[in-house]
Amino acid sequence: MSELSHNVAQACAESYSDNKDCNKFVKDFAAKVGVKLPGGIDLDADGIIAGMETHWRNLSQEQAISAAGRGVFVVAGLKKKDIKTPHTNGHVCVVIPGRHGAFPRVYSTSADKTVKFGRSQGDTHLSGFVFRSEDAKNVQYFGPTTGSSGSW
């Protein structure tokens, strides 16, 4: 494992809790690596995604994998309105270096124990584990705009 991958995985592990809402995990991780998320601190997953749609760069799946591999802070997310099975909230997670097949590796938490999806400690991929397979193709990826903080 490269030093960068180790640092990212370590920061995710330090922020991880199986009982933590995904938005809190992403905010905790961002604070740990010194990145200010757009839109404030009291946002749910949909609010984080909305702030990123306005203030961060939208990345393709391949760009997200590449950027995370270079140490850029990358968030993957899907708003609740875009999840095929009705949900009360959207979902966000941190993209980490590497891939599982075509999908990026991610760290993700969910406090909702009634949902089998949503959790990963970097050892599962986005499709079929963090998001249902039918939703994975609609996930949005975001990274800070050029010149913004976001590298480790």
CATH code, domain with 57: 3.90.1720.10
Contact 12, 74 (CB under 8 A): no
Which has the minimum average pLDDT: 3-7, 13-17, 74-78? 3-7
Residue 99 within a domain? yes
**Mean pLDDT, residues 9-15 taken together:** 74
Average pLDDT, the chain: 80
Residue 68 within a domain? yes
Q: What is the pLDDT of residue 11?
A: 76
Structure tokens at 125: 């991929």
What's the domain range around 109?
3-143
Concatenate the DSSP letters of all residues of 59-111 into one string. Answer: E-HHHHHHHHHTTB-EEEEE-GGG-SS--SS-EEEEEEEEEETTEEEEEE--S
Contact 58, 140 (CB under 8 A): yes
Which residues have CB under 8 Å from 92's CB, separation 6+?
22, 23, 26, 45, 48, 49, 75, 76, 77, 108
Residue 14 within a domain? yes
Nearest of 92, 81, 74, 75 to residue 131 by alpha carbon: 92
**pTM confidence score:** 0.84
**Mean pLDDT, residues 100-116 taken together:** 75
Count of CA atoms in the C-beta half-sphere (13 A) of 76: 31
Instruction: For residue 73, report the phi and psi dihedrals to the nearest 5 degrees.
Output: -70, 115
Q: What is the pLDDT of residue 127?
A: 58
Q: Which amino acid is at 9?
A: A
**Mean pLDDT, residues 18-23 taken together:** 81
Residue 40 within a domain? yes
pLDDT tens per residue, range 49-101 = 999 999 999 999 999 999 988 888 899 999 999 988 877 889 999 998 888 88
Residue 129 within a domain? yes
Of residues 102 and 123, more confidence is placed in 102
Q: What percent of the chain has pLDDT over 70?
A: 76
How many independent structural domains does the chain possess?
1
Nearest of 128, 112, 132, 130 to residue 120 by alpha carbon: 130
How would residue 122 be classed by pLDDT, with cut points 50, 70 and 90? low
Which has the minimum average pLDDT: 31-45, 73-87, 118-132, 133-147? 118-132
Residue 61 within a domain? yes
Q: What is the pLDDT of residue 1?
A: 46
Residue 128 within a domain? yes
Q: Which amino acid is at 56?
A: W
Residue 151 within a domain? no
